[in-house]
Structure formats: structure tokens, C-alpha cells
Amino acid sequence: MRSNASPDKRTTQRDVTQLDSAQQRYATESPSADVNLPVVYLQLVLAMAFFGLSFVFTSLALTELRPITIIVVRLVISLVLLGALSRVPAVTRIIGTWERPRRGDGRGFLVIALFQPFLYFLSENTGLLYAGPAVASIIVATIPVVTPVFAFLLLRERITLATVFGAFLSVGGVVLIVLADGEAGGAHPLGVFLVFGAVLAAVGYAIALRRLPSEYSSLTVVAWQNMIGLALFLPLLALFDARSLLGAGLPSPEVLGALLFLGAFPSTVSFVFLGRGIRVLGATKANVMTNTVPVFATVFSVLVLGEVLRWSTVVGMAIVISGVLLSQLRRANADAGGDPAAEALETRAES
């Protein structure tokens, strides 16, 4: 029997049903009586501290190992740790279980892994051969500023004048760092260029992650992105690093400790905590926390590596951070009161 409902009415009913479904998905991750917000913020701070420390420990590991070797080892360590955590009920109740991707979602996980960890770590670790940890962390801190630009071009998200101004201000700070005595505070411009490639990879990762269904747990996303990423890196390991590994002995205890830290914390704990923070607080509030990474990296670089910062580098850092904060604070005010479920429905409709 033919329905008497008009196409517009049927479309409206379908949209309401999809909106209710989206609201139910977000309800499991939204702040509630079961969510301890101070704990979520503490997890985000710890995630950013581990990200900041990753620059220091990667620089230490690069003294004995090649970039691809470091990436492969930290991904293996991460997968072993995630496999162990997925069997602990107390952990899975908080960050979810390790699920198999449903049919049709495999391509999304592949794209996510292509950007993160493959292109991101390849650009970042290679860039650290030419750029110091503090300078690299400042460039990476422009991710929250660059992301809205590509989100507008690819997802048609609205951006404000403050976002554009903050982006140019941050880029100006990076230029100041690069032009200081012909180097970026002790870093070659090639290193700055390579690390900025990591920024673009992170932008692609954020866009691909947004298109992934929200039902997947943080543990599932991190586990599969690292597993697929490992598969992408193994051919490069065999092609470029196999010969050097065959003739090399075991790394020093200091480098082994750095590898264990990189695999367990930045590659595992940080991404799980960041994923949970985005689901509970929203992408805007969680991304603001990434601005603390340069602070941690700079402090750790001075304390651990004895790195000396030029005044021009300090001024450039201040300009970059000011631009990032301006962009994020304005965007947070503009986005306040938004319905994440409605945004998810709108994104799916646009795609």
C-alpha cells in the first residue's frame, strides 16, 4: 500500500530517527554522574605531558637507531600493551574493548592509520634529525590552528576571523624561529619542513577520524591504527633499516628505556586518553589541551637534554602559542552550546 506521507515528511521523520540514534551514541560518552571530569582533565594533561616527552626520548633514541626502526619498535610495544589491557575488565570498562571493524569500516581505519601513525611518525621522527625537540613541539602545536582551515575546505565547517588571524600569527612565529641565525633555534629549516609535514598528517587524521562511526571505543581505534600502521612500516624497515640492524648490537640501556617509554606512553596511553577526552569533552575543549605540549617539551628538553634556547626562539614560541590560544579560545566560545549529535548528523549528511 502506497504511503500517503509526503517526501518532505518522510525525510523529516528519517532525520529525527537518525538524530535520536546519534544522541544515544553520544550519551554513552557524554559527561554524566558516572564520569569524573577532573579525572578526564588529568588524563588529558598526562597525555600531553607524554607527547611532550616523546620529543625528548625520540631524540635520545635517534642517537643509536634510525627513525623507521624506532617507529616499528614503539608500535610493537604498544600493540603488546593494548593486547594485555584488553584482557583486564577494570580497564575495558573505562576505555572499551578491542573490537573487530565492521564491514565497510575497514577503509576508514586504513585511512586513519595512513595518516597516523604512518605519515605522522615518518615526518616527525625524520624531522627530529634536523630539528630540536622544543622547536618541533612548537610546530606541532599549530595543529589545532591548521585543522579548521582544512576542515572548512573538506568538511565545510565554519571558521571565524579569529581562527584565520591565529593561524597567520602562529605561522609568523614559526618563520621567526626559522630565520633566527639561519636556523630554527638550533634546527635546520629542512627539519622544520619535515615536522610541518607531521602537522598536515595530523590534520588528515582528525578529518578521517571524524568520519569514523563513533561507536568504536578509544582502545579499538588506537589498536587498529597501530596494527595497520605497523604493517605499513614493515616493508620500509626491510628496505632501509634491515642491513644496519643485522650488523648492530643491542641498544644501550638508555635507548631501550626510551623505546619502552615511547611505546607504552605516547603511542598507547596518550592516544587512549586523548580519544576519551574528545568523546567526553568534545574535540574543541580537548584540542585546547594540545597547546600544553610545547611547555612540557621545552621544560623536559632543558632538564634532560641540556638544550639551550635562543631569545629569538623564545619569542617565536610565545608568538606561536599566542596564535594557537587566540584561535582555540575564540572557537571554544563560538562552539559553546552546540549539540554533538546534531553535528554528527550534519557531517554524515554532508558526506
Residue 10 lies in a domain: no
Q: How many domains does the chain have?
A: 1
- Which ranges constitute the DSSP H helices of 65-132? 67-85, 89-95, 106-113, 120-127
Does 134 score more than 50 pLDDT?
Answer: yes
Does 114 score more than 90 pLDDT?
Answer: yes
Residue 163 lies in a domain: yes
Q: Answer yes or no: pTM beyond 0.85.
A: no
Residue 107 lies in a domain: yes
Residue 15 lies in a domain: no
Residue 1 lies in a domain: no
Quote the crossing angle between the two packed helices 340-350 and 7-27, to the nearest 10°: 130
Residue 166 lies in a domain: yes
* pLDDT tens per residue, range 179-209: 654 544 556 788 888 888 988 998 888 788 7
What is the spatial distance between Cα 145 and Cα 199, in angstroms, rounded to a whole number? 10
Amino acid found at 173: G
What's the pLDDT score for residue 225? 93
Does 345 score more than 90 pLDDT?
Answer: no
Residue 227 lies in a domain: yes
Mean pLDDT, residues 52-66 taken together: 86
What's the pLDDT score for residue 110? 94
Residue 123 lies in a domain: yes
Mean pLDDT, residues 323-348 taken together: 48
Mean pLDDT, residues 256-283 taken together: 85
Mean pLDDT, residues 324-348 taken together: 47
Domain residues for 310? 34-350
Chain centroid to Cα 163, Å, comes to: 19
Contact present, 332 and 168 (Cβ < 8 Å): no
